[in-house]
Amino acid sequence: MDMISHIKKLSNAVGVGGLTQAADEVHSMLGNYCDEIERDALGSVIGYRRCGRENAPVLMLEAHIDEVGLIVTDIDDMGFIHVAPCGGVDVRALPAAEVVVFGDKPYPGVVCSMPPHLKKKDKKDILPDIADMGIDVGMSAREARLHIRQGSRISFKPNFVALDDFHVCGKSMDDRIGVAAILYCLDILKRQETEIDLDIAVVFAVQEELGCRGAAVSAFRVAPDYAIAVDVSFALTPDADSSKCGKLGKGPMIGRSPTLDSGMANELVKLAEENDIPYQDEVMGGATGTDAESISDARSGTPTALLSIPLRYMHTPCELIDIRDAQAVGRLIALYAKEGGRRL
């Protein structure tokens, strides 16, 4: 599979809470690898790759397809669109950002930025609240109210680019790159025509950015025996604390936390070492803040592992990743399904 062209399509599709473009995109991509694909009540996409064995254990692979964005709360008399965050968007990246407002059709817009001479003198370096930043779509109030309504979703403008052969950047790499990693895994299994002894359930979940909600109900539906969540985590930048970050290009971050299954983590480490797949440890003292939690405590509980892809500039329009990290995640999961699966 052509990794970059898949990531481009995934990144440029819009999946701000409730919008279905991203779900439609992953649904169609899953068609290459899954016998059955369904959508649950919240909009998550679930695909099954059956091994043919009766009562085979089920390994659930999960990544989320929603993304941070904004939601329309009001339209003022000058025609500016007022919004609330829909997920934890980085406020610092908003002034002058290009966005798309999903009214009766998509409308390009710009987030207002205050000219320097109008900044409040006492708090010059504090940005206004999101509620006070308008969005300029070039419409009068009358026109805006005709085409856009309260509740309309807003995304960053789709803007995927490649910096070089391995580094790509765009909106919503969090967590489309996780989706790409799982598809890469399915592609390996398909190409190798590997016989594996377990069923794989792929869950591309909604509403992670709003509190890991989609994965909870999907996990209940799938009722897996084991689960691996694939998300992104912080990659080091020079201004960050190196103890709280992984490194871009240094491989999957294998999660260690009280909420994660340590046996699965050990198995993943072992497979990585045996197969020369680079990896990094990511140790968290409590909840991981990912779908791993809501999967692990669904129904009567599921052993769950977390693989994170290092990413810079999370929740901005320019999330930057190294595709080799995602490919390594895909290879590692394929090995787990093959080797580890036999031991399950």
Which parts of this chain interact with other proteins (CB under 8 A)?
76, 78, 80, 82, 88, 90-98, 107-110, 112-118, 125-129, 132-139, 143, 159, 161-164, 166-167, 169, 234, 237-241, 244-245, 248-249, 289, 312-318, 320, 322
- The dihedral over CA atoms of 126, 131, 135, 140, expressed in degrees to the nearest 10, equals -130
Q: Decide: helix, strand or coil at residue 179.
A: helix
Instruction: Write down the catalytic residue from 25, 62, 67, 208.
Output: 208
Q: Give me the least distance between CB of 291 and other proteins, in Å please.
A: 16
Q: Give me the least distance between CB of 66 and other proteins, in Å please.
A: 16
Q: Which residues of 181-208 are buried (b: 16+ CB within 10 A; e: fewer)?
A: bbbbbbbbbeeeeeebebbbbbbbbbbb
Cβ nearer to other proteins, comparing 193 with 239: 239
Cβ nearer to other proteins, comparing 189 with 311: 311
Cβ nearer to other proteins, comparing 52 with 238: 238
Cβ nearer to other proteins, comparing 43 with 69: 69
Cβ nearer to other proteins, comparing 127 with 210: 127
Sequential DSSP letters for 240-257: S-GGG-B-TTS--EEEE-
Q: Is 208 a catalytic residue?
A: yes
Q: Give me the least distance between CB of 311 and other proteins, in Å please.
A: 9
Q: Give me the least distance between CB of 147 and other proteins, in Å please.
A: 8
Q: Give me the least distance between CB of 93 and other proteins, in Å please.
A: 3
Rounded alpha-carbon distances, angstroms, from residue 62 to 127, 180, 218, 289: 36, 11, 10, 14
**Which residues does 166 contact at the CB level (< 8 Å), separation at least 6?**
249, 322, 323, 324
> Which residues are annotated as catalytic?
208
